[in-house]
A and B are shown apart, each in its own frame.
Chain A
């Protein structure tokens, strides 16, 4: 990762894929995200609490899915600070099975993330990446919709503050 080349905005085209990846969640991973984010809602770690509010079981934080999915974009553009806007709608829940006894790395949920160029703005030096996040275990259900990240690839005329 030491010599990453920033994608050349002039060479990109709308609809082009930026790649795809699989992300995996475990119960331990949910606890880790709860601690790191400060979101201790028990539906993300207590099976009995989740069931008491009508959920099938423990579900992943929507913000964990959102935060993990965008790594496809950061790794593609080469600078996490280049993501200037990122939004999503949460449409389906992600149940995470308790695989703790099977080993620390055995996933309890597995999502497919794909990204493609949704829009290009050569004047601003920005591109919009549209992410698709689906859960094969739920028949390919869309977990996020309108998941869009705007990335600054070239200096724009705006007021980006990190130019040095």
Chain B
């Protein structure tokens, strides 16, 4: 069974608001071995012109992956999660994510393609503040391996 091509173009309701905290930024920075002081030291972040601690460039994945789960769980999409391989990822930042942001992601299925016995599904998570300011766009492509015949 492959991914249902009919979900292409489908959008899901925005994810619940995500409150970006200084501690989460510090925790994520440590996990990706990001030692730049703007992730941990408020004065260093402000010296660069940021209002608060700055998230590392891939921090948006925390919010995007949480939101993309709605697609994987959508029974109509027919995605077997045990057969999923992450194929590619792209972050486009309209502005940096900073501590204090309250963000929500709206996920859209951009494309579903068949490739041999496999499926490729690309999702786009549009991350914006709850006031509606666009912050980041995260595109993620999953390869769903077909069943061995």
Contacts and interface: CB of A to CB of B under 8 A. Distances in A.
Interface residues of B, number: 42
Interface string A2-36: 10000000000000000000010000010011011
A162 B93 CA distance: 11
Contacts of A36: 24, 27-28, 30-32, 62
Nearest to B45: A81
Interface residues of A, number: 43
B48 interface: yes
B32 A71 contact: yes
Given A86-B57, A89-B88, A90-B88, A71 B34 contact: yes
Interface of B is mostly: mixed
B124 interface: no
B49 interface: yes
16 contacts: A2-B44, A36-B32, A62-B86, A63-B61, A67-B61, A80-B36, A80-B38, A80-B96, A81-B54, A85-B92, A86-B90, A87-B90, A87-B91, A90-B86, A90-B87, A90-B88
Interface of B: 24, 27-28, 30-39, 44, 48-50, 54-58, 61-62, 65-66, 82, 85-96, 98, 133, 139
Closest A-B pairs by Cβ, 5 of them: A81-B96, A161-B95, A87-B90, A67-B32, A36-B31
